[in-house]
Amino acid sequence: MAPARQSQPMMDCTQRRRFDDLQVGERRRSAPLVLDEQAIIAFAQAFDPQWFHVDPQAAQRSAFGGLIASGAHLIALWRRMDHDLNGDIDFYCGVALEDVRFRLPVRPGDSLTLESEIVACRPSASDPGRGLITQAYRMVNGAGDVVLDLRAVNLVYRGAGA
């Protein structure tokens, strides 16, 4: 079963925000996403089949004391949640993920929320049609504890909206 996600209206792709529409300090917060055991196991079987991600009984004997989501799974969830959160930005492409930190294990039933903040904006030195933005992200569980944080650097189109 896929993780539960609050349904959100489709974004109007004709109203994408460009570099000049963005400001340092802009913050957004996603709807919660609940991760279930089946989703953790299915992702891990396909992409990170370590025993503490795929075998709930054996995972009880791990250092984590139970089944946990793979870090790769959290990055995939971050990407999906970020698209829902910031998909109205007219991204050209991603440049880097920086300072990726897995702070706490994510377990079946955890409710995850993503927070983003634009922390830097600068025009591209090589192309006047693009700008660079850096966004800081925090993924938090239902208790408010940070489970993942990272920074993403992206190129964004400048000029009139698409």
Residue 140 resides in a domain:
yes
Q: CA 158 to CA 162: how far, in whole Å?
A: 10
pLDDT digits (tens, 9 = 90+) for 22-45: 999 999 999 999 999 999 999 999
| Counted domains in the chain | 1
C-alpha of 72 from chain center: 11
Residue 10 resides in a domain:
no
Mean pLDDT of 100-115: 98
Residue 9 resides in a domain:
no
Secondary structure element (H or E) that encloses residue 102, with its range: strand 91-102
Residue 6 resides in a domain:
no
pLDDT at 110 > cutoff 80: yes
Give the per-residue pLDDT at 44.
Answer: 98
Residue 3 resides in a domain:
no
Alpha helices, H only, 12-124? 37-47, 51-54, 56-59, 71-86
Q: CA 89 to CA 122: how far, in whole Å?
A: 15
Q: CA 91 to CA 158: how far, in whole Å?
A: 10
Residue 18 resides in a domain:
no
Residue 13 resides in a domain:
no
Instruction: Place 159 in a pLDDT band, splitting at 50, 70 and 90.
Output: confident
Domain ranges, residue 115: 26-157
Give the per-residue pLDDT at 41.
Answer: 98
Q: What CATH number does the domain containing 41 carry?
A: 3.10.129.10
Mean pLDDT of 64-92: 97
More confident residue, 86 or 3: 86
Mean pLDDT of 104-114: 98
pTM of the full structure: 0.88
Residue 90 resides in a domain:
yes
Instruction: Please name which of 143, 2, 149 lies closest in space to residue 82, comparing C-alpha atoms.
Output: 149
